[in-house]
Amino acid sequence: MRTPLLRYLLWALACCCAVAARGQFDARFAQYWTLGSYYHPAEAGQRPHTLQLYGSYSMQLISFTRAPRTMTVGADLPFTLLSKEHGAGAGFFNESIGLFRNQRFWAQYAYRLTLGKSKLSMGLQLGMLSVGFDPSALNLGDESGNDEAFPATAENGMSLDVGAGASLLHPRFYVSFSAHHLSAPRIRLGERSDIRVRPMLYFTGGYNIQTRNPLVSIQPSLHLQSDITATRLDLTTRLFYTYRSKRFYGGLTYTPDTSVGIHLGVSIRNVTIGYAYEWFTSKIGAAGGSHDIAASYAFDLNAFKKSRNLHKSIRVL
């Protein structure tokens, strides 16, 4: 016979698993290079004269029931004010994991300085973080009834979310650093549980290697994600081939002690589409891997000045 104490413990365990089971609150997208301003507010408006739209959808641990399903969409663009360069962006994030739904939305501002051939940017991000719990799909047996020890209705909580960072862009390389959840959000789910989100640190860097063949280039990069307690490092190498107005790429990502991933993508004019699959090196194996689809669209803001029908793709590493 289930006791109220047992049901309460199950409820508390579910709350903990929503954050702790994955090791970090923030979700990870395999194609991090497509989502620059999602990770780094300082990269908002980094492409000159370009409105950048981006999005990604990730299906993780596909062999598990109610495994994470994650998506994000966002946009950013540069602007000039008082003869100074600035950037602005906004985005939305949604994740379903088990009986939980995590959501975020944010606005970004970046200030940009020219340092020789490089651009130094500093960014700020303000938004809201929401966590919801829906027990309707959880079966505790016929004896649960209306026991107050376990919630019978959905619970939701929300908190202010703050982030900041910096980025340095050079024609040959880039580095970006940011800190999310600086406000250490505390989310209250009804009267039974609190979820506290630790600050998250991100570091991303990459380099462009031009081969002797002008149509072929190599771009090694890395992406680090850490809340101090848990750290993940992605090491990536992509090979690019340009043919007329198309640019194809393929590559591999290795995450020590975690997984190996493969990437394929193409850029046609102002649209880039990429796919990634991740094999876990643990006992989960390839059957429990993750799919990731990412896309971006770059619209030339100068098109308004030239012609309503003129479109141009501007791509910056």
For residue 314, give every residue at least 6 positions away whose Cβ sits within 8 Å of its Cβ, in sequence order, or none.
Answer: 47, 48, 49, 50, 298, 300
Give a yes or no: residue 314 inside a domain: no
Q: Show the domain range for 40.
A: 4-306
Give a yes or no: residue 312 inside a domain: no
> Which pTM was predicted?
0.83
Give a yes or no: residue 317 inside a domain: no
Q: Give the per-residue pLDDT at 310.
A: 47
Q: pLDDT (tens digit, 9 = 90+) per residue, 73-101?
A: 999 999 999 999 999 999 999 998 877 88
**CATH classification at residue 57:** 2.40.160.60
Q: How many domains does the chain have?
A: 1
What is the Rg, in whole angstroms, of the alpha carbon atoms belonging to the chain? 22
CB atoms within 10 A of CB 300: 19
Separation between Cα atoms, residue 56 and residue 275, nearest integer Å: 10
Among 86-100, 222-236, 237-251, 271-285, which is the least confidently predicted range?
Answer: 271-285
Structure tokens at 314: 């501007």
pLDDT band at 39 (very low <50, low <70, confident <90, very high): very high
DSSP 152-213: -S-EEEEEEEEEEEEEEE-SSEEEEEEEE-TT--EEEETTTEEEE---EEEEEEEE-EE-SS
For residue 146, give every residue at least 6 positions away whose Cβ sits within 8 Å of its Cβ, in sequence order, or none.
Answer: 152
Q: Give the per-residue pLDDT at 161.
A: 96
Give a yes or no: residue 316 inside a domain: no
